[in-house]
Amino acid sequence: MQTNFHFMRTPLYTFPVLLFFFLFLPRSVPAQGNAHIARKSRALSDRMKYYKALSLCDGWLAGHPRDPLVLAARGDVYYALYDLFAAAQDYRAALRAGYDGEDTVFLRIFSDTATLVQLLVNDPAQRVRLDPRHGYRYLPDHADTLRGMLTPPRTCYDIVHEQLHVKVMPSDSSIAGSNTLRVRMTVDSCRRLQLDLFPQYIIDTVTLNGRILSWHRDGAAFFLALPPCLRKDTLVTLRVVYHGRPQVAKDPPWQGGFVWQKTDGRYNVGVACEHLGASSWWPTKDHLSDKPDSMDILITVPPGYVAVANGHPTDTTPAGNGWRTFAWHVSYPIVNYNVTFYMGDYLDISEPYTTIALQRTQIDYYLRKDHLDQARDYYRRTRTILSDLERLFGEYPFPRDGIGYVEAPYEGMEHQSAIAIGNAYDDTSGYQIYDGFPMLVVHETAHEWWGNAVSPEDMADLWLNEGLATYTEDLFLEREFGHERYLKYVGQQMLMVNNIWPVVGPRDINYNAFMGEDVYMKGAAMLHSLRSVFNDDKAFLTMLRDYYEKFRYRTVNTYDFILHAEKYTDRPLRPFFYVYLFQKDPPVLEYSFYRVKKKKQLILRYFWRGVPRDFSMPFLLLSSGVHRIMAKSEPTMIRIRDTRDFIIVTPGLLSTGVLKDDLRSSTYFYTRYVPFTDEEAAHLEDFLRNEGDE
């Protein structure tokens, strides 16, 4: 699933980005306060004279501590330095003092976590309950644990194969169908088995090997009473027949469900259900950890329509009164939220493709007839995208089923071998066409490796999908356009991180990992920083490729990735992963500096705050060259000769694209500037004098 980039509808991470541009674009200033000081501070900041700007603001605020304009101006300087805690403090003070500039709304959102959370979690249908007293912690209920927890009624069986047959009836927005599950019992004498289906559906019958079973419902789950004779490793067939009206999607794919789009009297129907759950439209074990080895999908549609689903088509048969059933076969394991269909007036435009392992397959584009010319232009770089991703990570995962892109009635979603690409030809999806490459296609195709072939076993680990797919965008741009473009794109992503919740969420509750969307951008920022910690591109990229090869067609968790990555470097990585994945905030680089009198020299003291004792990570400092500095949790002091100025490379600087040096050790962090005290400065002068440097 792509990120939700719609500013007016769901702000998401957009506010930090817009605020950054507010800092670096001309803007008017309100009348109150000292406008001259504010303008001069901004002019200094524009020339990257940040510490002169701070000194100017500090001097004025010493005598006018409630000047809202200068407080906001100093907050801008801190934001440019990426000292976001100090920036938020100044913005709050400016607002309390009556600041009323054109950027007031952005300052309010940036400096008030409650306001940002309210904007991020804006869907009552998702039943999001948060505890503001404990960092807006997610509060699960019985329904969450019923969906998210692997209890004995779920672990007692493993799904081998499913045959889903659904009749789609757009006239009354309903469906009717059945799912036949071939399952292997994993324990002896399981007496109670859980399946899942939303409560608005009527369950008509449930059978085991053709015999009717009794069952009872508990919300969106239902429990089957099994006979005592079933032994471990026994293969049995369960069949559930059902009907009802599926939930209508409010904002697909993020707020999922069915889409019954009707244009000029013709329907375009689809479904997207990541996090909402496969059980929102068909009965199954609705947990990410159990991927059937294969699947058959049969979709019956009204006269004149075509049905597209996952896998490859096997048959089309009449179903009476002009209705037809389209049969599709998935010959690889598939995670249940990826199971989908599309009903519409589709033409299949195909082209051959040979994988990096020389397997012949084909790319199918299922397109609406009135969009053929736009679509052909939009998809003209698809083969290059696939080739680049194969060279990065290994062979396309599903060659027997082919590669599919479908014009969907909603925006992009990574449905396995039937990727939804909707609303994209006119660049309205939130993803730009980057020098001819549709980045929405790059992101969703990346999910064939990250999410579809290698799948998270719990929603808590969703960054393994979205972080890796987002970082794949970066690597793709690096392959096509070079490292400078890569760095600019990475920097822009870093500015979109919210840091409200940890990237890895709580397990066993069907956690809504999309709330803050940091599974995307912070996941990518973490991977970029990990690459810098490796300081060995070959080892890092080999690690990613081997991760795919090792876990292809399997489910994984965050710890699998950590244990795997540790094998490719001698650097300790667990403190690094702890900070980026399990803590809310990134590491904070606290630093002080002193310009040596009468000498072109700089004394710099630095260390990481908010990290375990054995945490270490580099940062980049520009000062008479590029300096890769490895910082730890204990303060370190260094002397830099032949300079009196420096710049710490922060996300804001990366995102501008103005830095042209080789910045391969840039990382994602906040800063905290703490000036040396007068006493500390005097001690430094004494120390340098004794060394003979005076």
> Tokens standing for 692?
């003979």
Residues near 393 by Cβ (< 8 Å), separated by ≥ 6?
449, 472, 544, 545, 548
Instruction: Show the beta-strand stretches assigned E in 331-481.
Output: 341-344, 346-354, 360-368, 403-406, 419-420, 433-434, 437-438, 454-456
**CB atoms closer than 10 angstroms to residue 420:** 29
| Contact between 284 and 159 (Cβ < 8 Å) | yes
Strands 294-301 and 157-169: parallel
**Cα 46 to the center of its chain, rounded Å:** 32
For the chain, how long is the longest CA-to-CA vector?
99
Using CB atoms within 10 A of its CB, is residue 172 exposed (0-12), middle (13-18) or buried (19+)? Answer: exposed
- Cα 163 to Cα 156, 215, 240, 327, 581, distances in angstroms: 20, 21, 11, 10, 38
- On whether the 588-690 domain is CATH 2.60.40, my answer is yes
What confidence score (pLDDT) does residue 692 get?
Answer: 57
Look-up of token digits 């524009």: 46
pLDDT of residue 1: 76
What is the end-to-end Cα distance of the chain in Å, rounded? 61
Question: Would you state the pLDDT for residue 430?
Answer: 55
Give the pair of three-digit tokens for residue 7. Answer: 């500013």
Q: Supply 581's token pair.
A: 């994945």
DSSP characters over 654-678: HHHT---S--TT----EEEE-PPPH
Q: Using CA atoms, how far apart are residues 213 and 205, in angstroms rounded to an integer?
A: 8
- CATH number (1.20.1050.10, 1.10.390.10, 3.40.1670.10, 1.10.510.10) of 454-582 reads 1.10.390.10
Alpha helices in 82-196 (DSSP H): 84-96, 104-111, 113-120, 142-148, 152-155
Domain ranges of the chain: 14-120, 151-339, 454-582, 588-690
Q: What is the pLDDT of residue 142?
A: 95
Point out the residues of the chain with pLDDT beneath 50: 5-31, 124-126, 693-694
CA–CA separation, 16 and 495 (whole Å) = 6
Q: Return d(Cα 596, Cα 682) in angstroms, integer.
A: 11
Kindly give, in sequence order, each residue whose CB lies less than 8 Å from that of residue 139, ignoring residues fewer than 6 positions away: 129, 130, 131
Q: How far apart are CA 154 and CA 235, in angstroms?
A: 15
**Residue 423: helix, strand or coil by DSSP?**
coil
Domain 14-120 in CATH 1.10.3720.10? The answer is no
Instruction: Let me know if the fold of 151-339 is the same as that of 588-690.
Output: yes
pLDDT at res. 256 = 92
Q: Which helix (H) or strand (E) segment is 186 a member of?
A: none
Q: Give me 127's structure tokens.
A: 């039943």
Predicted pLDDT at 435: 87
Give the neighbor-by-neighbor strand order of the sheet with 626-632.
626-632, 616-622, 647-648
* pLDDT tens digit sequence for 168-210: 999 999 999 999 999 999 999 999 999 999 999 999 999 999 9
pLDDT at residue 434, as a whole number: 85
Domain topology for 151-339:
Immunoglobulin-like (2.60.40)
Q: What tokens appear for 575 in the block? A: 């403190």
Per-residue pLDDT at 247: 97
The DSSP bridge pattern shows strands 221-225 and 192-196 to be antiparallel
Burial of 557 (0-12, 13-18, 19+ CB in 10 A): middle
Nearest to 140 by CA among 460, 456, 376: 460
